Amino acid sequence: MKKFFQRGAIALALSAALVPAVQAQDKTVVTFARFFGACEADFGTVTDVSKSAGECGIITALTNKFNATNKLNAVVKTQVIEWGPYYDQLGARIVAKDIPTIAVMHEAVLGDFVKRNLVEPLDAGFKEAGVDVNDFTAHGKRGVTFDGKTYALPFDTHSWLWHFNMNLMKKAGLANADGTPVVPKNPDELMAQAKKFKAATGKPYFGWVVANETAAYTRTFLTLLYQQGGTVFPKNEREIDLHSKEAHKALELMNTLYANGDVTQNVDYGAANQAFVNGDAGVMVNGTWLIGDMITQSEKPGAALEKGYAVMPFANLYSKKATWADGHSWIMLKGGAKDEKTRKAAFAFLKFLSDNDFEWARTGHLPTRKSVIDSPAFTGLPFRGTIGTIAQTGISFAPTVPRQFRINEMLGEAISTILISKKPIDETVKAAEERINKMLASAK
């Protein structure tokens, strides 16, 4: 009898243990491929999004909250992929039929996937789920629309900024009475400020990424080009032209700054950021995504940035207000949603992300909903009144230009050759043109 009751107890325990497993199997699973890093140790159980910070923290908390609150018995399972190989891995997964339901995608890359007929148009699903495409900002809508169809949910506009160490700027006499930085209005003023800054602090004016991540060079180059009203595609999207006077001026300015020692020398992304955080450079040229992290640094007692951080759009050194910009978006690849329940759950999650565009904007990225970017909640965040103009002044390649990420890399490699290897501008530009145009001619 004792053995009978023991067996009964064991069976009951096993049955109880299986209930959660059965329930989990009954859930509709939405696979969610993204970069932005992994931070389960800090935010793996956080569902109060206001208690999260940074790109990884906020997107993790948003996913947790959706999983805890949705009424569809759906669960979003995150698949974290490293940023560097992300698109190569995504392509390999498509070939292997291991397709995520939802995936993050830069708007600069989206056109290549749309042309290959790999991405689902989302208009009908958005209408059903209640996502208002008319609320998208102009930059956001432009980046996800092809032939009148919407192929992604725009999630942010991110751009190139100047992050200031105001403690060093004050030491160099480059701060206004109200505590804001003195921002140069032309190349001559910039060169004079860089010289004054180095004389007062012994440090370079700029912290730039100059090694490994060469696309960072391209963002600075394109910003300086756009501010002169220039373009690298004057004829058509398949023929790049780097021989304009605007391109030459931009490259000459970058080359002079580097040659003068006004830029941190030969540092990669992590080292450039650390140099700024450590107080070894006055201005870090980097993206919107670092605002939240830099504000945190400025609140640390004893930190080089303590009570001394400011940020502004990339300084207007020429006649036109313009800066390089791109955006993160969310796509549904064809074959990712295996059935109607998964499709419905995926659109519910996209609607949830759209509804929480403000929370994502706490990273420093600009919202892609007009109702959010104009809201007191957003404009009340630190520095957003200053950088919000990027929603109107941000410029990128036309969405139909193919292989944009590769173009950025190849341009960055050429600029690196000019700055670090001291190769002549004209010779290097000619070689870069030939390489890029050859690639564009073969792009599908």
Looking at residue 174, its amino acid is L
- pLDDT at residue number 292: 86
193 and 113 co-located in one domain = no
Percentage above 70 pLDDT, the chain: 94
Q: What is the pLDDT of residue 124?
A: 97
pLDDT-derived band at 225 (thresholds 50, 70, 90) equals very high
Confidence of residue 21 (pLDDT cuts 50, 70, 90): very low
- 367 plus 232 within the same structural domain: no
pLDDT band at 25 (very low <50, low <70, confident <90, very high): low
Q: Is the pLDDT of residue 213 over 80?
A: no
Q: Which of 355, 377, 394 is the last residue of a domain?
A: 394
The predicted-structure confidence for 157-209, as pLDDT tens digits, reads as follows 999 999 999 999 999 999 999 999 999 999 999 999 999 999 999 999 999 87
Question: Do residues 375 and 273 share a domain?
Answer: no
Same domain, 349 and 316: no
Residue 300 confidence class, pLDDT cut points 50, 70, 90:
very high
Half-sphere exposure of 383 (CA within 13 A, CB side): 26
Contacting residues for 381 by C-beta, under 8 A, at least 6 apart: 361, 362
Can you tell me the distance from the alpha carbon of 234 to that of 236, in angstroms, rounded to the nearest whole number?
Answer: 6
Q: What is the pLDDT of residue 210?
A: 67
CA distance 179 to 197: 17
Tens-place pLDDT, residues 356-412: 999 999 998 999 999 999 899 999 999 988 888 887 888 888 888 999 989 999 999
Q: Are 241 and 411 in contact (CB under 8 A)?
A: no
Based on the fold, state whether residues 272 and 125 are members of the same structural domain. Answer: no
**Residue range 334-352: mean pLDDT, rounded:** 97
Residue 264 contacts by C-beta under 8 Å, 6 or more apart in sequence?
A: 204, 206, 207, 208, 210, 271, 272, 275, 280, 281
pLDDT in tens, 394-404: 888 888 899 99
421 lies in the same domain as 315: yes
Identify the residue with better confidence: 417 or 200. Answer: 200
**Any domain includes 367:** yes
> In the predicted model, is pLDDT for residue 351 greater than 60?
yes
Nearest CA-CA partner of 208 in 253, 248, 172, 155: 253
Could you give the C-alpha distances from 432 to 240, 241, 403, 419, 437, in angstroms and in order? 9, 10, 15, 14, 8
Threshold 0.75, pTM exceeds = yes
Q: How many Cα atoms sit within 13 Å of 420 on the Cβ side?
A: 18
More confident residue, 340 or 271: 340
Tell me how crowded residue 300 is: count the other CB atoms within 10 A of its CB. 12
What backbone torsions phi and psi does residue 245 show, to the nearest 5 degrees? -65, -30
Instruction: For residue 218, tell me if it sits in a domain.
Output: yes
- Closest to 207 (Cα-Cα) out of 262, 256, 136, 134: 262
Does any domain span residue 14? Answer: no
> pLDDT at position 5, please?
32
Q: Are residues 219 and 292 in the same domain?
A: yes
Query: Do 176 and 235 sit in the same domain of this protein?
Result: yes
Confidence label for 3 from pLDDT (cuts 50, 70 and 90):
very low
Task: Please give the pLDDT value at position 211.
Answer: 66
Grade residue 10 by pLDDT with cuts at 50, 70 and 90. very low
Q: What is the pLDDT of residue 427?
A: 94
Regarding whether 407 and 356 lie in a shared domain, the answer is no
If one counts the domains in the chain, the total is 2
Alpha-carbon dihedral sign for residues 400, 329, 144, 140: negative
Contact call for residues 250 and 228 (beta carbons, < 8 A): yes
Determine which of 52-56, 326-330, 432-436 has the lowest per-residue pLDDT on average: 52-56
Question: What is the mean pLDDT of the segment spanning 41-48?
Answer: 96
Tell me if 9 is assigned to some domain: no
Instruction: Please give the pLDDT value at position 400.
Output: 85
Q: Do residue 216 and residue 168 come from a single domain?
A: yes
Q: What is the mean pLDDT of residues 433-443?
A: 93
- The string of DSSP codes covering 38-107 is --HHHHTT---GGG--HHHHHHHHHHHHHHHH-SS-EEEEEEE--STTHHHHHHHHHHTT---SEEEEEH
Same domain membership, residue 305 and residue 230: yes
Helical H segments across 179-237, by residue range: 187-201, 215-226
In sequence order, the 6+-apart residues with CB closer than 8 A to the CB of 176 are 182
pLDDT band, residue 16 (cuts 50/70/90): very low
For 306-329, the DSSP string reads: TT-EEEEESP--SSS--EEEE-EE
User: Can you tell me the mean pLDDT for 416-432?
Assistant: 92
Condensed to tens digits (0 to 9), the pLDDT of residues 73-103 reads 999 999 999 988 999 999 999 999 999 999 9
- Those residues with Cβ within 8 angstroms of residue 388's Cβ, 6 or more apart along the chain or in another chain: 366, 373, 378, 379
Query: How much is the pLDDT for 282?
Result: 97
Asked whether the predicted pLDDT for residue 17 surpasses 50, the reply is no
The domain in which residue 348 lies consists of 26-157+327-394
User: Is residue 423's pLDDT more than 80?
Assistant: yes
